[in-house]
């Protein structure tokens, strides 16, 4: 039993009933897809979505198909009580919290959504199959909820690109609302995986945002060589002995194609991934033109 009063629908039929009633009373529908272990970054997603829609559904589903066989599915943090309270406190109207059996009744799917190219680089190269799992479950959630607006954090920048492309390519009738990254006071981007860090690792993890600050400062100072920016990112992260760099990339902000030079108009993004202790962390920043 949840201590909060927000309704929790665990079946597709019941969340659709809530949504049909909201539509009947003229409300616009927003969706915030999450995997739970909610934090201030998610709270911001809910608030932004609520400011644009009169009825907000938060889905909480740790989607098994986006985890690789050696990834942290079994250990992924779960905090249902606190999640429900956060949703209620930030203006959500209903939580959709299905079981894996509700989402994948036959144990798996025969139909998948794939966004090749965008899905194969960066996170996709390190986590094969990840974006197929993400795109497919997001397509299912969009079909279940049929929202006017769906909110996604810029923290998962590549995920946002993949979902936007899927929505465009499949003419899905939804507006994607990108929400800025929420950072702790020391610059660390909020992430459910930050819970894996001990106090020392937590301090070491701030090297990710430091490297992005240095990249932005270099771009502001007139540096146009993408290789030099990559080098600044990599050297900064490697200067922290507890951080193990996975990638440091400077890419086109829509296609994610690696750049040689920063464009003179906007359109470049710096993306990084590193392992700190048990956590694999990602971060990014749009570079100034
Ligand atoms: O960003 C996440 O939490 C997940 O990838 C999402 C979009 C909820 C799909 O499972």
- Angstrom CA distances, 264 to 222, 224, 261, 268, stand at 10, 9, 9, 10
Q: What is the pLDDT of residue 289?
A: 84
pLDDT digits (tens, 9 = 90+) for 73-100: 999 999 999 999 999 999 999 999 999 9
Ligand 1 centroid to Cα of residue 220, in Å, is 33
- What tokens does 47 get? 């608030």
Ligand 1 pocket, residue 138 CB under 6 Å: yes
Is residue 189 within 8 A of residue 182, CB to CB? The reply is: yes
SS3 at position 245: strand
pLDDT at 105: 95
Write down the pLDDT at residue 2.
61
- On whether the pTM is more than 0.95, the answer is yes
β-pairing, 243-252 vs 175-179, is unpaired
Question: CA–CA separation, 147 vs 169, rounded Å?
Answer: 18
Residues 59-84 have a mean pLDDT of 95
Cα 18 to averaged position of ligand 1 atoms, centre (Å): 22
Q: Which residues are catalytic?
A: 42
The answer for residues whose C-beta is within 8 angstroms of residue 79's C-beta and 6 or more apart is 36, 37, 38
What does the pLDDT average to over 115-136? 97
Give the residue-averaged pLDDT of 128-133. Answer: 97
The answer to whether the CB of 150 is under 6 A from ligand 1 is no
Task: Give the separation between CA 5 and CA 272, rounded to whole angstroms.
Answer: 39
Between β-strands 8-9 and 94-96, what pairing exists: parallel, antiparallel or unpaired? parallel
Write down the residue that tokens 């949703």 correspond to: 87
Span 166-223, pLDDT tens digits: 999 999 999 999 999 999 999 999 999 999 999 999 999 999 999 999 999 999 999 9
Instruction: State whether the beta carbon of 134 lies less than 6 angstroms from ligand 1.
Output: yes
The answer to whether the CB of 33 is under 6 A from ligand 1 is yes
pLDDT tens-digit map of 5-50: 999 999 999 999 999 999 999 999 999 999 999 999 999 999 999 9
* CB contact set of 264 (below 8 Å; sequence gap of 6+): 289
In the structure, how many helices (H) and strands (E) does the chain have? 10, 9
CA 249/CA 256 separation, integer angstroms: 9
Q: What is the pLDDT of residue 149?
A: 98
User: What does the pLDDT read at residue 182?
Assistant: 98
227-267 pLDDT, tens digit per residue, is 999 999 999 999 999 999 999 999 999 999 999 999 987 78
CA–CA separation, 136 and 159 (whole Å): 12
**Alpha-carbon gap, residue 81 to 148, rounded angstroms:** 28
């Amino acid at each position: 039993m949840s201590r909060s009063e927000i309704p929790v629908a665990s079946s597709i039929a019941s969340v659709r009933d809530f949504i049909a009633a909201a539509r009947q009373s003229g409300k616009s529908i927003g969706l915030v897809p999450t995997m739970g272990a909610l934090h201030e970054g998610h709270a911001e997603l809910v608030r932004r979505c609520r400011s644009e829609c009169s009825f907000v559904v938060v889905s909480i589903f740790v989607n098994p198909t986006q985890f690789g066989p050696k990834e942290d599915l079994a250990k992924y943090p779960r905090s249902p009580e606190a999640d429900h309270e956060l949703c209620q406190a930030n203006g959500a109207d209903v939580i959709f919290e299905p079981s894996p059996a509700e989402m994948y009744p036959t144990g798996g799917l025969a139909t998948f959504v794939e966004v090749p190219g965008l899905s194969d680089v960066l996170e996709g190269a390190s986590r094969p199959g990840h974006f197929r799992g993400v795109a497919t479950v997001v397509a299912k959630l969009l079909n279940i909820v049929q929202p006017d607006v769906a909110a996604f954090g810029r923290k998962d920048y590549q995920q946002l690109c993949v979902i936007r492309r899927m929505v465009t390519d499949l003419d899905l009738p939804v507006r994607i609302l990108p929400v800025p990254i929420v950072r702790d006071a020391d610059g660390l981007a909020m992430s459910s995986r930050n819970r894996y860090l001990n106090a020392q690792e937590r301090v070491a993890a701030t090297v990710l945002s430091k490297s992005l600050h240095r990249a932005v400062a270099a771009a502001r100072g007139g540096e146009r060589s993408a290789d030099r920016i990559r080098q600044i990112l990599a050297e900064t992260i490697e200067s922290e002995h507890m951080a193990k760099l996975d990638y440091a990339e400077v890419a086109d902000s829509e296609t994610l194609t690696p750049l040689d030079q920063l464009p003179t108009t906007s359109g470049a993004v710096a993306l990084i991934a590193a392992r700190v202790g048990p956590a694999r962390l990602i971060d990014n920043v749009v570079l100034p033109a």
